[in-house]
Amino acid sequence: MNKGDFMYEKKTIDKKYIIFIVVFVVALVLGITNAIIMNKEDLSPIEKAMKDATLTVTKILYKPVQVVKDKMKEYQEKQDLYEKYKELEKKVKETDLIQSEKEELEKEVESLKKTLELNRTLSESSYLNATVVNRNIGYWYNTITIDKGSYNGVKKDMPVIVSEGLIGKITKVTSFNSTVKLITSDDVNNKISVKIKVNDKYVYGLLSGYDKKKQTFIVEGISDNTEIPKDATVTTTGMGDSFPSGIVVGKVKRVTTDNFDLAKTVEVTSSVDYDDLSFVTILKRNDQ
Amino acid sequence: MQLAIIITIFSFFLESIVSNFVSINSQLFLPLFSIVALVIIYPYLKKERSSYFKIAAVLGFFYDVVYTDTLIVNLILFVFTAYFIEKINYALSNNYFNVAIITGLAITFYRVITFLVLVIIGYLPFSWYALFLGITSSLLLNMIYAIILYTITDFLSQKYHITKID
């Protein structure tokens, strides 16, 4: 064997070795990622402490910026103060009527719950307001971080809403912060049972995804043949562990059926302004 | 080394703050300043290769713990991205134009590998449009940030005679 042959042989072995390492590393990365991302367990105490400490620094740094942001918003709002005043005046006049209606409905709900043995409705929840600390940093995960944690009674899987409707649920909780997974997430496991109000009855379906191009939610699995009108309200059903019944998801934009007119797909637009998610509300169950 | 650490910490926190001013569905201005920091600090750590990769790993680790709750996933992806940045730097020298190009390539690389990993493990459905949007939505703002950060750090390195290999 001359010197050239020896060098050639050595180079071949190196290549095989590199391919083995690359394959091993890729498999390891995929394995670890799968185990971590699909893991529904709580964060470890060390992770919680590190996350809280770093987010506290972020909040301190963000404070002066937030003051400027609020002042600018305040200035913009002052521009149309008169229109808002008129609108509020009108709403105040309607309040008395709504109050008496609400009392009547509460009695009705109570009696219906007893009859139907329902155990989860929106009226059983209390509200906890929170401020958004950061928004969708991981991009693919579609999450936001809020400034309330287990110290404030926040627990995993609690629904998170804004005044216009549902936005997501709590997935991770530390002492003073929580992560909210948005319902606009592409996550294939993120499905929610919903109902669509058509006249006096409900049509049930499954909110299975979000179309980023059209910016609409997709509701599938509707077996009912009832005609679904445009602008019908879509709310949660209360089936499953996470969301109580009656949280608004959005309004029907369009209904399409397959070639055999069997399966309906409903496009739903949310009235939530995802461009301006600064304050959110956590729905805490009163028994939690 | 000190300048590199300051840039990294500054960018890490700034990313979180800026995210509050940008729409979640923004198609142009999503911040990814931590990756930009890896691009900017490379010329300062060219002679300290191991320090560069250590910073990338620590940055990825904090990114996991604080922002994405995906312990060590970003640690690995940030180290891969740092390696990719190192390779591009062999081909391109550092100037305003090239810094923007390297940032664009590094962000594309990071977004593509993250997306592929999430698709392979079955977390996300595959969609060319989603991948395209993921990349394009992060390019413009981060390229602008990279040029600004490059200008500032270049000025500081000249003023305080900090070693930099372009």
* Nearest-angstrom CA–CA distance, B136 and A139: 12
The pLDDT of A249-266, averaged and rounded, is: 82
Confirm or reject contact between B101 and chain A (CB < 8 A): no
Res B149: pLDDT: 94
Tokens encoding A168: 């997501």
CB–CB contact A50 B66 (8 Å): yes
- pLDDT tens per residue, range B79-136: 999 999 999 998 888 888 999 999 999 999 999 999 998 898 888 888 898 899 899 9
- pLDDT tens per residue, range B132-144: 989 998 999 999 9
- pLDDT tens per residue, range B51-86: 999 999 999 999 999 998 888 889 999 999 999 999
User: Which has the closest alpha carbon to A160: A145, A140, A175, A141?
Assistant: A145
Question: Is a pLDDT exceeding 50 seen at residue B27?
Answer: yes
CA A229 to chain CA mean position, Å = 26
CA angle, residues B1, B7, B12, in degrees to nearest 5: 130
- pLDDT tens per residue, range A152-174: 999 988 999 988 888 998 999 99
Residues 82 through 121 of chain A touching chain B, CB cutoff 8 Å: none
* Nearest-angstrom CA–CA distance, B68 and B75: 11
Residues 6 or more apart in contact with residue A202 via CB below 8 angstroms: A195, A196
SS3 B57: helix
Check if the beta carbon of residue A167 is closer than 8 Å to that of residue A182. yes
SS3 content of chain B, % helix, strand, coil (to 5): 75, 0, 25
CA distance B29 to chain A (A): 12
* Nearest-angstrom CA–CA distance, A243 and A248: 11
User: Mean pLDDT score of chain A, rounded to an integer?
Assistant: 81
Res A112: pLDDT: 72
User: Which has the closest alpha carbon to A183: A150, A152, A207, A203?
Assistant: A207
Res A1: pLDDT: 47
* Nearest-angstrom CA–CA distance, A70 and B53: 40
The pLDDT of A2-12, averaged and rounded, is: 52
Q: Which one has a higher pLDDT value, A40 or A4?
A: A40
Q: Which one has a higher pLDDT value, A110 or B123?
A: B123
- pLDDT tens per residue, range B2-23: 889 999 999 999 999 999 888 8
Taken as a whole, chain A contains a residue count of 288
| Best mutation target, A28, A30, A32, to test chain B (most B CBs within 10 A) | A32
CB–CB contact B69 A29 (8 Å): no
Question: Is a pLDDT exceeding 70 seen at residue A64?
Answer: yes
Contacts of B25 in chain A (CB under 8 A): 184, 212, 215, 274-275
Question: Is a pLDDT exceeding 70 seen at residue A115?
Answer: no
User: Which has the closest alpha carbon to A228: A236, A237, A220, A240?
Assistant: A220
Q: What is the DSSP letter of A43?
A: P
- pLDDT tens per residue, range A213-230: 788 888 888 867 778 888
SS3 A164: coil
User: Which has the closest alpha carbon to B139: B26, B17, B12, B6?
Assistant: B26
| Best mutation target, B33, B72, B121, to test chain A (most A CBs within 10 A) | B121
CA-based R_g, chain A, Å: 25
Distances from the Cα of B120 to the Cα of A29, B41, B88, angstroms: 11, 32, 26
Distances from the Cα of B147 to the Cα of A156, A200, B18, B155, angstroms: 41, 60, 17, 12
Question: Is a pLDDT exceeding 70 seen at residue A13?
Answer: no
The pLDDT of A98-112, averaged and rounded, is: 76
Check if the beta carbon of residue B42 is closer than 8 Å to that of residue B51. no
Share of chain A above pLDDT 70, in %: 88
Confidence of residue A288 (pLDDT cuts 50, 70, 90): low
- Residue spans of the domains in chain A: they are 1-33
Res B79: pLDDT: 93
* Nearest-angstrom CA–CA distance, A250 and A197: 11
- pLDDT tens per residue, range A118-135: 555 555 678 899 999 988
